[in-house]
Structure 1
Amino acid sequence: MYKDQIERYMDAHRDEMIEDICRLCRINSEKMPYIEGKPFGAGAFDALQSALAMAEGYGFSTVNYDNYVGTADLNDKERQLDILAHLDVVPAGEGWTVTEPFEPVVKDGRLYGRGTADDKGPAVAALYAMRAVKELGIPVTKNVRLILGTDEECGSSDIKYYYDREKEAPMTFSPDAEFPVTNTEKGRLEGHFHASFAASSALPRLVKLDAGIKVNVVPGKAKAVVEGLELKTLEETASLVEKETDISFIFEENASVIQITAQGAGAHASTPQEGRNALTGLLTLLERLPLAECAQFSCIKRLLKLFPHGDTCGKAVGIDMEDELSGALTLAFSMLTVGSDSLEGVFDSRCPVCSNEDNVLKIVKKAMAEEGIALETDFMVPPHHVDGESYFIKTLLSVYEDYTGLKGSCQATGGGTYVHNLKNGVAYGASMPGTDNRMHGADEFAVVDHLLTSAKIFAQVIVNLCS
């Protein structure tokens, strides 16, 4: 119902919608230092002001929640649906070739620029969906609210601020993933651990080790410095370990010490099996070297026993599990530093719906304690799941199928989205299946036709859920 009118409206406003997206994408809204009245810096503030002015210009009632979050309401009726998007972006980074990061351009049917896909483009598509319903005069009996956050990329403190002041709508979707519907998100255990031991000067020895850049990234590179070993011994051992681990090693001599660089392949911690963990590969090499027996070397061997190379499902530490809803548990050993008398590190585990603190956190803590390593973390983020048979989900899938001709289905993710802590929140669009929008990378883009289709889908969802 109303599909023809919605499609004609969106097609007629295509160029206007793209220009509004460009208007927001010209603003560098990455998180910046706090300024009074601008909690996430000047860029996020400017983007929010621009978006709210845009919504007001189209006749919507807006509210600014102290520059953390802004909202736009379709009407003043009882709220039925929230659409949760964000205006902040990750840093531009290097390697852009099509355009400068904050100079959006359309080329070959793609809109390039930081934020075009994540998440300014989808946010404006949602605004145009509300605009279509409003300007076409489609009768609705409930309200839909567009919520525009400004700190999604760095912890979502904006949304906590908002929901400390407002109740959730009965239904919420976030256009910050891909179609069809992501209704299941794994839980997360971010495990911080440490161990102390007596220092030793006995040779050969490990002087230091440093690996990892972020807790949610499988390290593609790791470095260690050893003393008292011949280069030939290192090379012979590395040759065997390379065949076993698929990690390569480079050696640099400097006086009495040799630096080892392990090279693998990075990956997101939610999909560690797609990478080659340089950290665990480096530990495997160190374990095989004829280092002098000492407390440090013993601790490293015990640590590798808990997190052996290639174990991306937590089997060695006792938490290997899976379920039909969310799939298998994953574990990425992501950061480690080792000195003469201590070590500290972090692992990142994404845990299925069947997981809880009893069968994951307590098991890991006990296993590590038995090896003399203290897990400092005392809580885990629980999994998130919305019933795939609910009217809400069935409506989202039905509209998606109607506008794309593709089969709709529910899917699970190891990553967390903006709606993870909302009782009836799911991710819905705006990327189409199989499209790599290069989110967070150079030459991020959104397919213009996909944005237009998303706006049509969102408008129809509003009509179906709020009438």
Structure 2
Amino acid sequence: MPAPLSSAVSAALAGWIQRHEPEILAGLRRLIQFPTVSGAADAAGRQAFERHVHEAHHWLICEAGRWGLRSRSHRDWALVIEAGDVPEVIGVPLHVDVVPPGEGWRHGDPFSGTIEDGQVWGRGTQDNKGPLMAMLHAVAAIVALGRPLRRRVKLIIGHGEEVSEWEDVEYVRDLEGPPLWSIVPDSSFPLVTGEKGWLNAALRGDWDPVALGEAPVRLESLMAGDRVNIVPDRAQAALQFSASADEARQRLEAAAAKIGSDEVGRPEIAWPEPGRCEIVTHGKRAHGSSPHRGHNAALDLLRLLSGGLGASLGEELSGTLGALEAACRDHLGGVFGVKSEHPFLGATTVSLGVLQVRPGGLEALLNFRPTLGLTTAAALESVHRRIAEWPGATALGLRLEASDQPYEAFLVETSEMAECIAALEDAFRSVTGAEPAHLPMSGSTYAKVFPRAVGFGPCWSAQEPGLFHQIDERIPVASHLRNIRIYAEALARLVL
């Protein structure tokens, strides 16, 4: 069992946090101001991202040194910040990269770290820069006690978590060895002891438009989404109508009135010149693990095109777009043949994150979260079989493949982490006064990379909403300070 924490130590940690609140908030704001958006599609964007990560690492090294912590960079790839010099290690995997901010923030620049209404606003406040700074300052509070540590604390900071490029933290794990236990503050409170799997699949098609024949309406382009793990909130298409397509135009206009919702609005249809149609649909962003919490603009556009235009687009293309919409509209995976449920982890989900269509080509990026009992290989095979049955699958050359490393669903072996879990439970109970339940998670975190890992914060639904990947991501100042205290008390129980 963890070492008991005296009231004097608890008070000292709380006092340190209270005294240093201005520096704590300034540090969080500064880290948010680095626009470390991963997943750029072009060389210039990747270079800018690498520059921002380098700058963020340099600042973190200075910030850690300010509080008496050691740092080392692994090829400017992964960053390690630690305290203590004994063999046993408590690992804290974190990431400095963030998803794109999107548009429509209520408090201006999403990389400003604005403090208004008692909250810190900005991309990364919850996922994952807020937890990173909370853990760093929690360790600083422990070091300030001046006591010897019986275990090291190691913050392992990756920079490609949001795009499934986890090689940097895997490199640190393999080079330095896995920690005794890992605490992953990238989920929710109280504790997360199980995660669904992770499977990104790319559906691609290539065809000869001439061989398919001329259709009354030509789809020139369709674009939606910027990340596979985000429900897209905007989709757009450009079409060219032939002179004989007046009836198709009328059907399109009629169908648009039935698409969308009062919350996100109806499709916007413009005719900038004779025969040319431009369409925009709007939705609501959400984390790809919870597609039901968003409104997928890409699916609305697919429904409008396939339902409103039908065979006027060409039977093969219209049939494929309609089949894709129907399969992804069923976010529990029934149409894809992967519907399954686990009593603790919940149901498998599917989300369409990115879609691009051009004359002669299609790419759709699908995010599956298989629950325990459904392997990623079985899910991929089932989806492959269903797609092969779609109208136009052969004519459009449709093919499906995993687009990155899949990860299986898992439950934490709590018996292997008894002391660690007890320390986290005690700290949560001590700071909040609430009993710590064990929760499942639909998302994927570095807990899949490290053995003996458990999710721990940063959001607690009783006090603040989880806004990972959403517009207006923010953390109440009081919650951020609460998190530092929870993390400090938990780590103190494990290392003092």
Measured against the shorter chain, the TM-score band is: 0.7 to 0.9
* Residue 198 to residue 453, structure 1, CA distance change in 2 (3 Å): closer
Given candidates 244, 248, 263, the residue that maps to 2:266 is: 248
- Of the three residues 187, 192, 213, the one matched with 1:177 is 187
Match of 1:29 in 2: 34
Over residues 339-395 of structure 1, what are the superposed CA-to-partner deviations in whole Å (9 max), with x where a residue is unaligned?
444433222211112221343111111222233231133763322431356413343
Partner of 2:432: 404
Structure 2 letter corresponding to 1:451: H
State the match for 2:204 in structure 1.
194
- Counterparts of 1:375 and 1:92 in 2: how far apart (Å)? 29
Residue type matched to 2:487 in 1? F
Alpha-carbon distance between aligned partners in 1 of 2:72 and 2:383, rounded to the nearest angstrom? 45
Take 2:310 and 2:484, find their aligned partners in 1: how far apart are those partners? Answer: 62
Instruction: Report the CA distance between 1:143 and its aligned residue.
Output: 2.2
Aligned partners of 1:178 and 1:429 also within 8 Å? yes
1:316-356: CA deviation from partner (whole Å, max 9, x where unpaired): 12111111231111112333333444433222211112221
Does residue 16 of structure 1 match 2:16? no
SS at match of 1:124: helix
The aligned residue for residue 453 of structure 1 is: 482
Kindly indicate whether the alpha-carbon contact (under 8 Å) linking 2:111 and 2:122 is maintained by their aligned counterparts in 1.
yes
2:232 to 219, 244, 269: 219
The aligned runs of 1:296-311 (5 Å cut-off) are: 296-305=314-323, 307-308=325-326, 310-311=329-330
Verify the 8 A CA contact 2:287 2:470 in the aligned structure 1: no
RMSD between aligned alpha carbons?
A: 3.5
- Note the C-alpha offset of 1:440: 5.3
Counterpart Cα distance in 1 of 2:298 and 2:114: 40
Q: CA separation in 1, counterparts of 2:155 and 2:335?
A: 45
What is the CA-CA distance between 1:30 and the residue it aligns to? 2.8
CA contact (8 A) 2:35 2:111 kept: no
In 2: Cα distance, 1:367 partner to 1:93 partner = 33
Deviation, structure 1 residue 103: 5.4
- Looking at structure 1, the residues matched to 105 and 300 of structure 2 have their Cα atoms a distance apart, in angstroms, of 32
What is the CA distance between 1:197 and its match in structure 2?
A: 4.2
Opposite residue 80 of structure 1, the aligned amino acid is V
| Equivalences, count | 462
AA aligned to 1:422 is F
Separation in 1, partners of 2:433, 2:258: 52
Alignment-derived partner of residue 377 in structure 1: 402
Which of 337, 359, 362 is equivalent to 1:318? 337
Q: Is the 8 A contact 1:307 1:317 kept in 2?
A: no
Note the residue ranges of structure 1 that are not aligned, 5 or more in a row: none
Q: Which residue of 1 aligns with 2:58?
A: 49
**CA distance in 2: counterparts of 1:182 and 1:82, whole angstroms:** 16
Could you tell me how far apart the structure 2 residues matched to 1:292 and 1:124 are?
Answer: 55
* Distance across 2 between alignment mates of 1:343 and 1:270: 24
SS of structure 2 residue aligned to 1:318:
coil
| Structure 1 residues 17 and 417, CA gap change in structure 2 (3 angstroms) | farther
Q: Cα offset for 1:125?
A: 2.9
Residue ranges of structure 2 left out of the alignment (5+ in a row): none
AA aligned opposite 1:432: W
Give the 3-state SS of the residue equivalent to 2:73 in structure 1: strand
Contact (CA 8 Å) 1:142, 1:466: kept in 2 or not? yes
- Relative to structure 1, the CA distance from residue 61 to residue 248 in structure 2 (aligned partners, 3 Å threshold; closer, same or farther) is closer
Aligned-residue offset at 1:404: 0.5
Match of 2:413 among 387, 393, 403: 387
1:419 matches 2:447: yes
Q: TM-score, with normalisation over the residues of structure 1?
A: 0.84
